[in-house]
Amino acid sequence: MKITVNTSALEREITWFNQVCETRFEYYFQHNEQDVDLETVCPAPSLSASDGPYAEVVLEFGFGFTERVVLMLALMPHVRPQVLDLFSLQNSALGRSYSEIGGWRGKSHSGFLPTCETASFILAGSHLGKRFAVARLFKEEHAFIRRGVIKLDLQSNGEPAFGASLQLSHEFLQRLADGEVHKPDFSANFPAKLMQTKLDWSDLVLNQEVMDEVNNIVTWLRSPQQILQNWGLEKSLKPGYRAMFYGPPGTGKTLTASLIGKALALDVYRIDLSMVVSKYIGETEKNLAGVFDQAQNKNWILFFDEADSLFGKRTQTSSSNDRHANQEISYLLQRVEDFPGVVILATNLKANIDAAFARRFQSEVYFAMPDAAQRERLWRGLFANTTKLDADVNFRDIAERYELAGGALLNVARYAAIRAVKNQRELITQDDLLAGIGRELMKDGKTL
């Protein structure tokens, strides 16, 4: 029913948009466009909240005539590309397309793809004042850009700003189609994976000092505006929050980031650095820009694991490669500092992180190896179902004897369970656990 209602509303909007375009062409090429007021000649159809997802978006953002024209222009290649065939008109005198109409061609899409110039042609014709008004629709403060409704992509540096391609974001394409807010999928264009966990705070074993720092981050996320406004700090402080988690592997850095997001119903995206870092000049910055641009207006937490591979120290510029690497770090520093959400960097070695980043962290949280009491808690948490344990299992003993991080304990538990099944036993024994512990210690060159 919802899709049917939305389809009806979109059909009316497409008919109206087609009328607007035909009217612009008619008046423009009769050299009489000064006499036309498109909003009067082609009034936009009325919309109500009951007209489906498209109407909901228009009403939510308070889009008027001009915004609706631009929104439909960006939507057309996806839903009714033939409507834009009119814009492929050729200038017979010059033997090429009309420069004032703009547009570009995709690699596989054979139809017309709009640019900002196309939007200006429809809304302003050759009227310079109206053209300047159209330009305001593509500024950072407008909802189109600020809320990530539309993406602008300038194909080459130095070209006119209106030459940028006008693209509807994937998120809003889905929302206009079926009303659902879809989370981005891991892809080459979005090298980040949504992190989720079935664990809770009770499963996390940390020192009280670490939990205090984690609670500081949670408090900020719950009440950022209150913190900034009550004491007039919004003039001095930027809205984002940056934290660094450092310490040995398996001590809970990734789980803590996941639990922060889970506690506040926020999405936590783990950046895949293997798909971000590139040996080609400018590609790393471009890949990161794609992530930050998509996250800019979302209430997301960005999590960079093994961050020293990307946020490492700057070096002396003895070669062009050094200069390029330093430029990447400077770009990262700017994007992280300007990001209005939360950025968490995780590293095993704090010393490898560039000092310029470290100075800008609101929190530096050290995740130490768990002590014997904490390890016992972790063991008991892993094997909450004691009926599956043999009577000889002694968690206190192995917790005191073997120093392992929580991540290593998970590996031990998995191996012990596999060993019990392989030997056709219903219970996990102390020997199963010790065998798993031995395997983990061997990774660090140690023995039982």
pLDDT of residue 187: 66
| Cα 72 to Cα 106: distance, rounded to the nearest angstrom | 19
> For residue range 37-82, what is the model confidence (pLDDT) as tens digits?
899 999 999 999 888 899 999 999 999 999 999 999 999 999 999 9
Task: Kindly report the average pLDDT of the chain as a whole number.
Answer: 86
| Element spanning 24, H or E | helix 2-29
CATH number at residue 293: 3.40.50.300
Percent of the chain with pLDDT over 70: 91
pLDDT of residue 182: 67
> For residue range 108-147, what is the model confidence (pLDDT) as tens digits?
888 999 999 999 999 999 899 999 999 999 998 899 988 8
pLDDT of residue 39: 93
| Cα 217 to Cα 222: distance, rounded to the nearest angstrom | 9
202 confidence band (pLDDT: 50, 70, 90): confident
- The C-alpha torsion from 251 through 303 and 299 to 137, rounded to 10°, is 170
Asked if 360 and 378 sit in the same domain, the reply is: no
Asked if 212 and 156 sit in the same domain, the reply is: no
The token duo for 65 is 């005539």
Residue after which a domain boundary falls, among 366, 398, 419: 366
Contact, 331 vs 285, CB < 8 A?
yes
DSSP letter for 104, please: B
| Cα 272 to Cα 182: distance, rounded to the nearest angstrom | 20
pTM over 0.75: no
pLDDT of residue 312: 64
Range of the domain at 112: 2-178
**Amino acid found at 380:** R
pLDDT of residue 276: 73
> For residue range 342-378, what is the model confidence (pLDDT) as tens digits?
999 898 888 878 777 777 788 899 999 999 999 999 9
> What number is the average pLDDT over the span 378-389?
90
Other beta carbons within 10 angstroms of residue 270's beta carbon come to 21
* Residue 186 forms part of a structural domain: no
| Cα 265 to Cα 14: distance, rounded to the nearest angstrom | 37
Asked if 124 and 266 sit in the same domain, the reply is: no
> What number is the average pLDDT over the span 408-421?
94
Q: Is the pLDDT of residue 188 over 70?
A: no
* Core vs surface per residue 108-122: b (16+ CB within 10 A) or e: eeebbbbbbbbbbbb
Q: Is the pLDDT of residue 1 over 60?
A: no
pLDDT of residue 322: 47
> For residue range 15-38, what is the model confidence (pLDDT) as tens digits?
999 999 999 999 898 876 566 889
Asked if 39 and 59 sit in the same domain, the reply is: yes
> For residue range 281-336, what is the model confidence (pLDDT) as tens digits?
667 777 777 788 878 778 889 998 887 777 765 454 454 454 555 566 677 778 88
Pure H helices in 30-86: 38-41, 53-61, 65-79
* Residue 430 forms part of a structural domain: yes
Asked if 267 and 134 sit in the same domain, the reply is: no
> What number is the average pLDDT over the span 185-195?
75
Number of structural domains in the chain = 3
Report how far apart, in Å, the C-alpha atoms of 304 and of each of 216, 245, 377 are: 19, 10, 28
